[in-house]
Structure 1
Amino acid sequence: MNIDVSNIRNDRSLPSLLYLYLWPLWIFENVNAGSFLERAAAYRRNRSKRVYLPGYTAKWTVIFGMLLAMLAALEGMANLFASWKFPFTLLACGTGILAILAFVVVVMTIAIYLLLTHWEF
Structure 2
Amino acid sequence: MTIDKDTPPQPAPAGEPPPDMPFRRLLYRFLFFDWLFRDVSAARNLFERHAAHQHNRKMSRYLPVYLRRWSFLTAFDFALGVLFEKVLQAGLLSAWCFTWSCVTFTGMVVITVAWLILNHARLS
Give the residue type in structure 1 aligned to 2:66: Y
> How large is the RMSD of aligned CA atoms in angstroms?
1.6
**Counterpart residue number, 2:15:** none
Distance 1:37 1:93 in 2: 49
Q: Secondary structure at the match of 1:32?
A: helix
Q: Secondary structure at the match of 2:79?
A: helix
Distance 2:112 2:85 in 1: 30
Q: TM-score, normalised by structure 2?
A: 0.77
Counting aligned pairs with the same residue, the percent is 28
1:55 deviates by: 0.6
Q: Which has the higher helix share?
A: 1
Distance 2:20 2:46 in 1: 33
**Counterpart residue number, 1:33:** 42
1:53 deviates by: 0.5
**Counterpart residue number, 2:80:** 70
Unaligned runs of 5+ in 1: 1-8, 79-87
1:24–1:30 CA distance, 2 compared to 1 (3 A): same
Give the residue type in structure 1 aligned to 2:103: L
Distance 2:28 2:65 in 1: 15
**Counterpart residue number, 1:43:** 53
**Count of residue pairs brought into register by the alignment:** 104
1:36 deviates by: 2.0
Give the residue type in structure 2 aligned to 1:102: T
The runs of 4+ residues in structure 1 deviating greater than 6 Å are none
Unaligned runs of 5+ in 2: 1-17
1:110–1:10 CA distance, 2 compared to 1 (3 A): farther
The 5 A counterparts of 1:84-103 are 88-103=90-105
Distance 1:112 1:29 in 2: 13
**Counterpart residue number, 2:13:** none
